[in-house]
Amino acid sequence: MKIASFFSGAGGLDLGFTNAGFKLAFANDNWEGCWETFEKNHKIPINKKSITKIKADEVPDVVGFVGGPPCQSWSLAGAMRGINDPRGKVFYDYVRLIKGKKPLFFLAENVAGLLSSSHYPEFMKIVNAFKGIGYNVSFKMLDANDYGVPQERKRVIVVGYHEKLGKKFEFPSPLSQKLTLKDAISDLPEATPASHYNKTNGKLDIYNHEYMNGGFSTIYMSRNRVRNWDEPSFTIQAGGRHAPCHPKAPKMKLVGEDKREFIKGKENLYRRLSIRECARIQTFPDDFVFHYDNVADGYKMIGNAVPVRLAEALAKQIMKDLKEIKTQEKWQTNLARQKEAQLCLE
């Protein structure tokens, strides 16, 4: 079953779907920084246009659309301009292409801010736009930690099934086991600092196992950035300067309102998680190599990605539903043929 991917980035969502048995037939992203990584890992060319410039007839016939429209305009951590930001409007281009191709299903992922009081009315307009083109729509805020991902990461997932399927998507149940930083990265050796001006060191013994250098801003120091080994990671963000600290360091000490400091005498233990450590936490496999000149782009690709295991859990449920519907349709067709044959004999 073939799918088309939009806002693909490094392709965490795509990898989860291909792991579940789907085949990637089309991918699109207009950020140059992800192109080499995507094409070398997924082995297909990426369409480099803005989604606003893509016409429906440029997209092959597929059973599903998957994508995570840019989240910055909806993020609680950003300016929250929502639909007033050009990046927020591309949600409607996603609707436009789905209307033109009429896939059996679509999936969209975005930040928790979509459900905030300031954005919820606009979000419901988007949901109604999907309904208006013939889809039964389900949406829910999920925590990736419930689906085999060793981090707390809350995201809104929207899934639509075409009305002709006669079914509505039901979200998979959370797993009982919650993975931790120990599960994810404890076997990795010490990482390498990035090169001068935070350029990559190039090929390392462990791909991408390098971390961003530089000071820590007052915003960074306003709250604790360290999780223990037996806890899940904080959310992996798209900015390297905001990467959590490695769990070998003790938790930061509160010294005033919105002000923390590193434990005296142990300052050398505080470093940002490496790009490979962040990739592990986002459940990318070690043979998935990120290509970049500036380490900031490595962090950006990983932080913007949908965790692979979360994507795979959703994809498996969709695949199960599609197979059940196909089996049911085949059974109904056979039953109809049997009835016709019986009538001919009478």
pLDDT digits (tens, 9 = 90+) for 59-81: 999 999 999 887 554 444 544 44
Q: Is residue 346 part of a domain?
A: no
Q: Is residue 344 part of a domain?
A: no
Dist. CA 296–CA 312, nearest whole Å: 27
121 plus 205 within the same structural domain? no
pLDDT at residue 331 in the model: 52
Query: Can you give the CATH number for the domain in which 313 is found?
Result: 3.40.50.150
Q: Residue 64 is encoded by which pair of tokens?
A: 């599903």
Q: Is residue 149 part of a domain?
A: yes
Query: Can you give the CATH number for the domain in which 295 is found?
Result: 3.90.120.10
276 plus 292 within the same structural domain? yes
| Tokens 């990467």 -> residue | 243
154 plus 217 within the same structural domain? no
Dist. CA 346–CA 100, nearest whole Å: 46
Dist. CA 336–CA 320, nearest whole Å: 24
pLDDT at residue 74 in the model: 45
Number of H helices, E strands in the chain: 8, 10
| Tokens 């997932």 -> residue | 157
Residue 246 is classified by DSSP as: P
Question: Mean per-residue pLDDT for 157-179?
Answer: 96
130 plus 197 within the same structural domain? no
Residue 294 is classified by DSSP as: B
Dist. CA 124–CA 117, nearest whole Å: 11
* 210-255 confidence digits (pLDDT tens): 999 999 999 999 999 999 999 999 999 999 999 999 999 999 999 9
Q: Is residue 339 part of a domain?
A: no
314 plus 271 within the same structural domain? no
314 plus 206 within the same structural domain? no
Question: Which H or E run contains 23?
Answer: strand 23-28
28 plus 137 within the same structural domain? yes
Query: Distance of CA 143 to CAs 200, 242, 244, 311, Å?
Result: 32, 20, 18, 12
Q: How many CB atoms lie within 10 A of CB 42?
A: 19
Contact predicate 70/44, CB 8 Å: no
Quote the number of domains for the chain.
2
295 plus 320 within the same structural domain? no
Where in the sequence numbering do the catalytic residues fall?
Answer: 71
Q: Is residue 275 part of a domain?
A: yes
Q: Which amino acid is at 210?
A: E
Dist. CA 108–CA 127, nearest whole Å: 11
Q: Is residue 121 part of a domain?
A: yes
pLDDT at residue 329 in the model: 64
* 255-280 confidence digits (pLDDT tens): 999 999 999 999 999 999 999 999 99
Please give the residue range of the domain that contains residue 50: 2-177+308-334
Q: Which residues pair with 261 in a beta bridge?
A: 253
Q: Is residue 343 part of a domain?
A: no
149 plus 25 within the same structural domain? yes
100 plus 224 within the same structural domain? no
Q: Residue 271 is encoded by which pair of tokens?
A: 């470093």
Q: Is residue 62 part of a domain?
A: yes
Q: Residue 340's pLDDT band (boundaries 50, 70, 90)?
A: low
Q: Which amino acid is at 74?
A: W
46 plus 171 within the same structural domain? yes
197 plus 124 within the same structural domain? no
